[in-house]
Amino acid sequence: MPMKAVFQRRLQKLKHIRGVQQPVFSLICMLLGISFTVWFTLLLVFIIVPAIFGVSFGIRRVYMKSLIKLFEWATLRMERGAKEKNQHLYKPYSNGIIAKEPVSLEQEIQEMRRGSAEPEFDMSDIFYFCRRGVESIVDDEVTKRFTAEELESWNLLTRSNYNFHHISTRLTALWGMGVLIRYGFLLPLRVTLAFTGVGLLVVLTSIVGLFPNGRMKNYLSDKVHLMCYRICVRALTAIITYHDSENKPKNGGICVANHTSPIDVIILASDGCYAMVGQVHGGLMGVIQRAMVKACPHIWFERSEVKDRHLVAKRLSDHVADESKLPILIFPEGTCINNTSVMMFKKGSFEIGCTVYPVAIKYDPRFGDAFWNSSKFGMVNYLLHMMSSWAIVCSVWYLPPMSRMEGEDAVQFANRVKAAIARKGGLADLLWDGGLKRGKVKEVFKEEQQKLYSKVLVGSSEDRSRS
């Protein structure tokens, strides 16, 4: 009763002061207030509390299954539309668009000579280099790894559509609804969660940092880290499947994984506790880094220290030698690759001589492409893309631990681990350096090609007598 009286009195007051529009305005305010409360309660119950305890309602998986059905329907409609107009849909093929024969230089040139006794120069030798060169212009193995993977069926996002003229009105309506849902509902939800997650991380790790060192502190630090990363995982609507959890990394080891985006860290750290390695940043990242290191020892390097390979190796070995410290998480590719291949692993982390726990991460690009093309998009732009996609779906495989074998050097060990990760994740195993994203290829590779050809030309016997 008193509420109603108060409300009516207020209504009359407002009417006097500002005219008749006011009651509508205050009604809207009340509705907003109620919806906010409901919103936050739902958020708490369905997302934050499960995150704290590490359980899941399974809502995300249902969401994922319905999305798959939707995408398949959309592709069928587009194909039907294309057939009516008697055209073909553009279908991207990430396995290559031209037929490349895996014939080596020697094989091909000998073939051309047709077994003549003297391997002399022939004017037709140029054909091999010519064709190989033009093949690489049309389709090469490296440059396509640095742009987002193309999809076989459309996932109702403008950024991955190549068949604009085949979209019917029904599809456009669906796409429009998708935009509304993604930007109007999912994006604000995710941004709220992200802020909550990061905020809690900073605050709680600082609190844990006040405890004295010991088992209690480690226990609390683990729980706090896990909880905050789980909230962040929900902030991206990441649906992750972990395989072979019995191989999870243990203390005193190094965990290596293939790198696709900064989100890899969140994905791995929400299932286990790791010590992070990285450069000290300023701004928000710096605040987070400083807070995290209060709760448990992470390895942050100053910019100047990064260049000093010995210093880096020493700090990593010291950390690994201490059994009470968490396993280190490292991405040996050194840069983000688009998740269709694994590129050269830098040998630094493989020289330390401890157990290596390889992890393979494979994203399903249909729901949202996690690859960060750092030359095209900045971090904020990237996060916006992430949070306005449908979801991030990925699989994580924990591979059995590996150690360096007798007579194996760091580079061979690194390649062995890389091959295992590529095989498990279904990725192409490349020898090329991820640094080619930005830098030029080394001259020494060209010199190798020239050497090979000279051998064929001059004949191997002469070669031996010269050397």
**Residue ranges binding other proteins (CB under 8 A):** 87-88, 90-93, 96-99, 112, 120-121, 123-144, 147, 162, 432, 436, 440-441, 445-451, 453-455, 457-458
Phi/psi-derived region of residue 266, left when phi > 0, alpha when psi is between -120 and 50, beta in every other case: alpha
Nearer to other proteins, 351 or 429 (CB): 429
Residue 159 Cα distances to 82, 148, 354, 369, 385, angstroms? 20, 10, 43, 10, 10
Taking the complex as a whole, the smallest distance from the CB of residue 279 to other proteins amounts, in Å, to 27
CA 245/CA 398 separation, integer angstroms: 6
Per-residue three-class SS string for 279-327: ECCCHHHHHHHHHHHHHCCCEEECHHHHCCHHHHHHHHHHHHHCCCCCC
Nearer to other proteins, 20 or 99 (CB): 99
Nearer to other proteins, 113 or 217 (CB): 113
CA 87/CA 89 separation, integer angstroms: 7
Taking the complex as a whole, the smallest distance from the CB of residue 463 to other proteins amounts, in Å, to 8
Taking the complex as a whole, the smallest distance from the CB of residue 361 to other proteins amounts, in Å, to 25
Distance of CA 293 to the CA centre of its chain: 24
CA 129/CA 132 separation, integer angstroms: 5
Q: Tokens 């994984």 sit at which residue?
A: 257
Taking the complex as a whole, the smallest distance from the CB of residue 127 to other proteins amounts, in Å, to 4
Taking the complex as a whole, the smallest distance from the CB of residue 452 to other proteins amounts, in Å, to 9
- Pick from 330, 347, 333: which is nearest to 429 by CA? 333
Taking the complex as a whole, the smallest distance from the CB of residue 443 to other proteins amounts, in Å, to 9
Taking the complex as a whole, the smallest distance from the CB of residue 228 to other proteins amounts, in Å, to 38
Nearer to other proteins, 72 or 122 (CB): 122
Nearer to other proteins, 24 or 123 (CB): 123
273 Cβ contact list (under 8 Å, min separation 6) = 221, 222, 225, 226, 296, 326
CA 394/CA 375 separation, integer angstroms: 24
Nearer to other proteins, 89 or 187 (CB): 89
Nearer to other proteins, 101 or 323 (CB): 101
Taking the complex as a whole, the smallest distance from the CB of residue 37 to other proteins amounts, in Å, to 48
Nearer to other proteins, 91 or 170 (CB): 91
Nearer to other proteins, 35 or 147 (CB): 147
- In the structure encoding, which two tokens stand for residue 143, read together? 């440059």
Question: Environment class of residue 21 by beta-carbon count within 10 Å: exposed (0-12), middle (13-18) or buried (19+)?
Answer: exposed
Residue 389 Cα distances to 181, 242, 449, angstroms? 10, 22, 44
Confirm if 344 and 417 have CB atoms less than 8 A apart: no
Taking the complex as a whole, the smallest distance from the CB of residue 143 to other proteins amounts, in Å, to 6
